[in-house]
Chains A and B, each alone.
Chain A
């Protein structure tokens, strides 16, 4: 293992442990990892935004214009409009002119909503409605094995579930009587769906945890602990340094705990 690889892998392992330490409680190790990841990601995002957003979508498109003419002579001068709207956002830094920043915001929200409405109607209403109008295969109900019959019943369950679920989301009518019963069936069906989704996602999360443990074990500990590792000395140094900091922190925590306990035990005379 090269020294650079060793260093970054060790750092990754230490930061993993620092994040896991949150399971105990908020502590300086977690705070360090938190601030590091927030700072790095904010900086990283700014660079990404520059290279993937501003450069290809604005600067590249105005490149054939001249700056002293305000890029008005470029082949696509209309890209100056979003550029100006973007610049107007900077008026937020002025108390006097911050109201101007509402223009680009209103434009952004207005356009986005206008785009979203037909899209939502298409994807969440029309297409779902079309898909729900499926053929019920009545022949599947008879003369088949148990599982086949169960699969056939699923068509009926989907139809009833969809209608009951929709009725649950009626807001202008009280959920009472027969209407309330159907709405209750709807929420039960939703909850069954949520339960299945929960289990599935928890499994995925556990696999992520296993992946992290594998990183700690295979990518870091096994390689670093080997005496043949040319950076074994460095590893020992880091290991004992981190170990010492952790032990010192635990000792401090214990000291604070005992001190507070003694204070609580002192009864008023």
Chain B
């Protein structure tokens, strides 16, 4: 009997020891399991307005346990499916406190983010606790469809402005075509172009024309083409050499056409050299290095910088100044204008670049558009003053007319 008691006591001791060892582990693994939170309510899904489709907006009312109650909600996960009761796929999540999610997909069917347009879709929002397993799903909302919009209502002010400006342009172009003299104030930088070409001819040195780093679709590059056309025409007449190193291959192609046409207009098509407009590289500083080399080796009498310029502006202009060239620059890149102003003899500031092309071209379309621009600027000044007055007397509705929503 005594042995039985001893064995029983040993079993008890061993058992209690095992329990003693296991106990803390058990406590750890069973760390306070959060209770399932209250679900989100009033889930509503709508198509995203003013877009190309493939996007929906999901809105809901927060769970009662988000920032209150048991305070257990950590985030919300949004699920989408093409079926009301199965195949839900998580499309995104937002932290606690949020009540909105934009499910923006792509148009590409192969993409993981593809959202089909005009197809029934179902959504649900899960309130998730710190333990991702413990969550509560909302009721499924649907069906809802995404679709594209033909008209962006948020951009009505842009349409209005374009229409008004277009009407002004048509009017002034027709006025200019009737032969009415439209005044354009002289621009020092443009007046200097003629002198600079003459100087190059006298010195027997080339003219270097830089179109900048912009692509052919940029407004400043397009304005630069017009100025290049004029410069090339004069160069052809004076039979001076023209060098146009290009950064962009498309710009080079257009520039070649422009220069070729100018030589033709000037009556010297045979003097046009295909190699005068050439491509260097589409790398900013490699391009700069090459142009700097041209400046110091060919010693152009005149450097013309017109178009879009970035960090290379000062390097180019400073090297040109060291080479002793007359320099005329023009850009709408505000950050680079200071460098051109410092290092060049003449600088066309911002819109002067566009005006220069009209001033040089003297064509009715150009002059008419310039006049229309001035009227548009006058309208902007008047509207700005009216807006300032309106907002200071709390007529906020007036300025909201001009608000553009992207």
* Chain A residues packing against B (C-beta within 8 Å): 19, 22, 25-26, 30-31, 33-34, 37-38, 40-42, 44-45, 89, 92, 101-102, 105, 108-109, 111-113, 115-118, 120-122, 125-127, 129-130, 132-136, 138, 159, 162-163, 166-167, 169-175, 190-191, 194-195, 197-198, 201, 205
A26 to chain B, nearest CB (A): 4
With contact pairs A109-B216, A173-B183, A190-B349 given, residues A201 and B293 touching in the complex (Cβ less than 8 Å) = no
Within residues 312 to 359 of chain B, which ones have a CB less than 8 A from any CB in chain A? 314, 334-335, 337-339, 341-342, 349-352, 355, 358-359
Residues of B within 8 A of A138 (CB): 392
Cβ contact within 8 Å between B334 and A129 = no
In the assembled complex, the Cα of A197 lies from the Cα of B282 at a distance in Å of 27
The 8 A-B pairs of least Cβ separation, nearest first, read: A112-B217, A133-B387, A41-B283, A198-B338, A41-B286, A194-B338, A26-B296, A42-B281
Q: Which residues of A contact B351 (CB under 8 A)?
A: 169
Task: Report whether B219 and A194 are in contact in the complex, using a CB–CB cutoff of 8 Å.
Answer: no
Q: How long is the Cα–Cα vector from A190 to B351 in the complex, in angstroms?
A: 13
Q: B residues touching A (Cβ–Cβ < 8 Å)?
A: 155, 157-159, 161-162, 165, 182-185, 187, 215-219, 222, 250, 253-254, 257, 280-283, 285-287, 289-290, 292-293, 296-297, 314, 334-335, 337-339, 341-342, 349-352, 355, 358-359, 370-371, 373-374, 376-378, 380-381, 383-385, 387-388, 390-392, 399, 402-404
Majority DSSP secondary structure for residues of B touching A = helix
Contacts A101-B253, A135-B391 known; A130 to B216 CB distance under 8 Å?
A: no
Alpha-carbon distance A109/B286, docked complex (angstroms) = 26
**Chain A residue with minimal CB distance to B296?**
A26
A-B pairs with beta carbons under 8 Å apart, 5 shown: A25-B296, A31-B293, A37-B286, A38-B281, A132-B384
A169→B281 contact, CB < 8 A: no
| Contact call B297/A133, Cβ cutoff below 8 A | no
Contact call A197/B380, Cβ cutoff below 8 A: no
A43 to B, closest residue via Cβ:
B281
Residues of chain B lying within 8 A (CB to CB) of residue A113: 217, 222
Residue of A whose beta carbon sits closest to that of B260: A98
Report whether over half of chain A's contact residues are helix, strand or loop; otherwise say mixed. helix
In the complex, what's the smallest C-beta–C-beta distance from A102 to chain B, in angstroms?
Answer: 7
Q: How far is the CB of A264 from chain B (nearest CB, A)?
A: 20
Question: Closest Cβ of chain B: how far from A87's Cβ, in Å?
Answer: 14
Inter-subunit contact B285/A171 (CB<8 Å): no
Whether the Cβ atoms of A163 and B253 lie closer than 8 Å is no
Contacts of B187 in A (CB 8 A): 171
CB <8 Å contact, A136 and B341: no
Nearest Cβ on chain B to A237's Cβ, whole angstroms: 28
Residues from chain A with a CB closer than 8 A to the CB of B373 are 171
CB of B402 within 8 A of CB of A133, answer: yes
- Could you say which residues of chain A place their CB within 8 Å of the CB of B296? 25-26
Contacting pair B289 A169 (CB below 8 A): no
Determine if A198 and B217 form an interchain contact, defined as CB atoms under 8 angstroms apart: no
Whole-angstrom CA separation of A72 from B225 in the bound complex: 37
Q: Check if A169 sits within 8 Å of B185, measured CB to CB.
A: no
Residue contact B289 to A133, C-beta cutoff 8 Å: no
- Beta-carbon nearest neighbor of B249 in chain A: A89
Are the CB atoms of A30 and B293 closer together than 8 Å? yes
